[in-house]
């Protein structure tokens, strides 16, 4: 982890991309099918950075209905290898314990909906150790049950970086949409990532 912490200046609240004090919604987790993966939270700035500098990112994979797993991915620079022509294709699951993350379970949210949460999901503890088979390999991570308020931070409290991803195309397992590299794109720096659930009605307008 030393390479990730060896920065000349760690970004803080004065940075133009630092998230506003009240926080900001960055969209849903989008867990629509088994093995759907999202990985848009990075340990270091990624889109405009040298892809040959070691970096990690947080990935979340849908294990089953009501349960996901959070784990880390590393870029090829961790192995001393050059980045591929498309650096977005140069990420691999981290195959050992991920003590770099601190995960706190704050209980079922909203609490009024507890009776509608399956019992196995109620019994699960966010942050408990888990494993999931990814491309034929058992990858360690942390359980991330749905219908909870869960907070995720780096254990050393250094910032995290969100790069808005492109829209997902298809239902390929284990594939995370790449970040947007052209406007409009969003990039935020923050320390706390929060997961939660909400249920709401919606409205839509159509031309016919």
Query: Is 68 inside a domain boundary?
Result: yes
Confidence at 199, pLDDT banded by 50, 70, 90: low
**Each residue of 78-98: pLDDT tens digit?**
989 999 999 999 999 988 767
Domain boundaries, position 107? 36-195
Q: List helix spans (H) across the chain.
A: 2-5, 119-123
pLDDT over 90, % of the chain: 61
Q: Cβ distance 9 to 160 under 8 Å?
A: no
Please provide residue 132's backbone torsions phi and psi, each rounded to the nearest 5 degrees.
-145, 140
Mean pLDDT of the chain: 88
Query: Is 16 inside a domain boundary?
Result: no
Residue 50 to residue 28: CA distance in whole angstroms: 29
Long-range contact set of residues 59-63: C-beta below 8 Å, sequence gap at least 24: 59/93, 59/176, 60/29, 60/31, 60/144, 61/35, 61/36, 61/37, 61/132, 61/134, 61/141, 61/174, 62/31, 62/32, 62/33, 62/34, 62/35, 62/36, 62/37, 63/34, 63/130, 63/132
Q: How many domains does the chain have?
A: 1
pLDDT at position 200 is: 65
Query: Is 28 inside a domain boundary?
Result: no
Q: Taking the CA of residue 96 as centre, how many other CA atoms within 13 Å lie in the half-sphere pointing to its CB?
A: 2
Confidence at 207, pLDDT banded by 50, 70, 90: low
User: Which of 10-14, 65-69, 100-104, 176-180 shows the lowest mean pLDDT across its residues?
Assistant: 10-14
**Each residue of 5-44: pLDDT tens digit?**
444 467 888 889 999 988 898 987 767 899 999 999 999 9
Q: What's the mean pLDDT in 96-110?
A: 87
pTM above 0.75, yes or no: yes
Query: Is 151 inside a domain boundary?
Result: yes
Query: Is 208 inside a domain boundary?
Result: no
Query: Is 149 inside a domain boundary?
Result: yes
Confidence at 1, pLDDT banded by 50, 70, 90: very low
Residue 155 to residue 100: CA distance in whole angstroms: 5
Phi-psi domain of 48 (left: phi exceeds 0; alpha: psi -120 through 50; beta: other):
alpha
Q: What's the mean pLDDT in 139-148?
A: 93
Query: Is 127 inside a domain boundary?
Result: yes
pLDDT at position 12 is: 80
**Each residue of 158-189: pLDDT tens digit?**
999 999 999 998 889 999 999 999 888 899 99
């Amino acid at each position: 982890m030393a390479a990730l912490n060896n920065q000349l200046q760690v970004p803080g609240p004065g940075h133009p991309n630092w998230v506003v004090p009240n926080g900001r919604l960055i969209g849903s987790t989008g867990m629509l099918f088994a093995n759907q993966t999202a990985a848009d939270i990075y340990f270091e700035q990624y889109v405009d950075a040298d892809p040959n500098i070691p970096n990690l990112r947080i990935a979340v994979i849908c294990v089953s209905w009501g349960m996901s797993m959070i784990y880390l991915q590393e870029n090829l620079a961790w192995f001393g290898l050059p980045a591929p022509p498309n650096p977005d294709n140069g990420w691999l699951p981290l195959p050992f314990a991920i003590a770099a993350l601190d995960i706190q379970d704050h209980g079922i949210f909203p609490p009024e909906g507890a009776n509608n949460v399956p019992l196995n999901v109620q019994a699960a503890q966010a942050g408990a150790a888990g494993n999931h088979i990814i491309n034929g390999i058992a990858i360690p991570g942390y359980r991330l049950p749905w219908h909870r308020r869960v907070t995720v931070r780096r254990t050393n409290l250094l910032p995290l970086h969100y790069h808005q991803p492109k829209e997902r195309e298809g239902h390929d397992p284990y594939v995370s949409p790449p970040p947007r590299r052209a406007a409009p794109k969003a990039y935020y720096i923050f320390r706390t990532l929060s997961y939660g659930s909400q249920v709401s009605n919606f409205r839509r307008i159509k031309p016919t």
